Amino acid sequence: MDNILSVKALKQVFSKETAIDNMNFEVKRGEIFGFLGPSGAGKTTTIKILTGQLHPTSGSALLFDVPSTKMNHPKYLKKIGVMTDNSGLYSRLSVYDNLHLYCELYSVENKRKRIDEVLEMVNLIDVKSKIVSKLSKGMLQRVTLSRALLHEPELLFLDEPTSALDPANSRHIHHGLQELNRKGTTIFLTTHDMQEAELLCDRVAFLNNGKVQLLDEPSKLRRKYSDDTLTVELVGGERRILKNGPEGAQKMYEYMSNNQVITMYSNEPTLGDIFVDVTGRSLL
Amino acid sequence: MSFSLKRVYAIFNKDIKDVSKNMFVLSTVIMPIILAFVFTQSEQVPLGTHYFIINLTFVSITVFVQGAIIAEEKEKNTLRGLMMSPATTIEIITGKSGLSALLTVISLVACMRITGYEFVNEPAIYFAFFMSLILYLAMGTLLGLLTRTVMEASLVLMPLLFVFGMGTLLLEFIANYPNLAFLEYLPNYQLQFLAETVNAGQAFTDVIGYLIVIAAWMVILCILTVVVYRKRVIDGK
């Protein structure tokens, strides 16, 4: 798989504060790449650099083999979709009018059909004619997301796309994003929701203090940081932790032969546990 | 670089829908018209008064409406959405200027009808008015780009209203202070001097100097607007 995005020695300094420090990573075409970290870790700053909204202090970021500093050219802007917390909507206009404007700006064909499609995807078709100022925060977030999808971008940047959503709507959005990814859209997703990252991402990067601390597939990370143990819950409520190996297998055989096992589970860490382990920081 | 009229029209159309529900901006548009009614109470309206109303219309409508529209886009983070779309700088600025230009033309025509002002030597005056419209649109766009909120834009407008909108009143003041003579090169005075020269029956060649000064203002403000806009594109806000 070729790289759609490549970041090398990226650095961003604001006044005297270093927001991003020697950042390196690549995003493969067609993957969902999770960029995980707590608030203030540098996620949004990275998206702003990658989408040409900010020029880095040093280092480089290439998208489609083009420097991010050239990304605000119309030719490249058509290829990317961006949803960040600074993507505003026109509050006096309806949802439809907001989306229609962007259909015109991106020269989208079959505008009505496309607007209906993206609104279906974010589960908002019923509020198409509603004035934006009357929408809840979660609805606004979904309209902003639908706007980023209108022109079917090759590379989609999503900054905390489900942070204001209830679980049902988050699930709906997750399915939509997976479907979009299956059709070929590469997704760069920032989140501090580790469950969301586990569910959606092919690979994740842990960001802390402006640096990528760890980068791999979620399953590989879990295995790497696993302590190779299994917890077995026995009749009577007793719990035993068994280590992988002949001794653990022998014990397990005994418990199972005597019908003592109620349940058992692997002690693989969650991505959240790994993050805390690696950075010493919690994600919130 | 491509230029899409469709995109320009889409932005203009959006602004019409948006501003039609914005009473704050709409109420500003009425001010010069009310003023024009007040001045028609006297029998003969002098040329200075006509141009006082005309310059006030340029500042209070062209500059303010344009500034307020841009400042609101910034305040609500919608300008970033336009900047991140494939629309070019020129398409966005042209689209965003359409409504202010339309409101200015309607108000100017209404005010002139009310005060009974008629153009003499039309080409020179039309040309000067056209350039004034562009330069005040650029000034309004700058005002919006350099302020963070509509409220801040309204506050910054006050000194602009005083300097560019109070034509005749300030001219008398300037006459007593030779050090302030350079203020006569402001575009509002140049427009008024041009009209006075034309009204006195002078030829087109006699007003070229005024047209050049107004053109210089227009070019400088347009360049400044594009430079500031492009800086805003990469300011990360």
Nearest to B7 among A69, A104, A147 (CB): A104
Task: State both tokens at A106.
Answer: 């991106």
pLDDT tens, B28-49? 888 889 988 888 776 678 888 8
Task: State both tokens at A150.
Answer: 């209108």
Average pLDDT over residues B212-226: 97
At B168 the pLDDT is: 64
Contact residues, chain B, for A107 at CB < 8 Å: 4, 6, 86
Q: How many domains does chain B divide into?
A: 1
Q: What confidence category does residue A24 fall into, taking pLDDT thresholds of 50, 70 and 90?
A: very high
Residues of A engaging B, defined by a Cβ cutoff of 8 Å: 45, 48, 51-55, 69, 72, 74-75, 77-78, 82, 86-93, 97, 101-102, 104-107, 147
At A262 the pLDDT is: 94
At A251 the pLDDT is: 92
pLDDT tens, A99-110? 999 999 999 999
Q: Strands, E, within chain A: which ranges?
A: 3-14, 17-28, 32-36, 58-63, 66-67, 80-83, 155-159, 186-191, 203-208, 211-216, 229-234, 239-243, 261-266
Closest-CA residue of chain B to A74: B86
User: In chain A, what are the domains?
Assistant: 3-222 (3.40.50.300), 227-267 (no CATH)
Of how many residues is chain B composed? 237
Contact residues, chain B, for A87 at CB < 8 Å: 77, 80-81, 84
Q: Which domain holds residue B85?
A: 5-233
Least trusted range by pLDDT, from A124-128, A130-134, A206-210, A253-257: A206-210
Q: What confidence category does residue A12 fall into, taking pLDDT thresholds of 50, 70 and 90?
A: very high
At A228 the pLDDT is: 87
Asked if residues B220 and B136 have their Cβ atoms less than 8 Å apart, the reply is: no
Task: State both tokens at A257.
Answer: 């032969």
Closest-CA residue of chain A to B92: A105
pLDDT tens, B100-116? 999 999 999 999 999 88
Report CA torsion sign: B38, B40, B46, B50.
positive
| Residue A207: partners with Cβ closer than 8 Å, 6 or more residues away | A35, A36, A37, A41, A42, A43, A46, A213
Rounded Cα distance, A254 and A231, in Å: 15
Q: What confidence category does residue B137 fall into, taking pLDDT thresholds of 50, 70 and 90?
A: very high
The strand pair at A203-208 and A32-36 is best described as: parallel
Assess whether pLDDT exceeds 90 at residue A177: yes
Task: State both tokens at B55.
Answer: 């310059």
Average pLDDT over residues A151-164: 92
Rounded Cα distance, B150 and B68, in Å: 5
Nearest to A104 among B10, B18, B76 (CB): B10
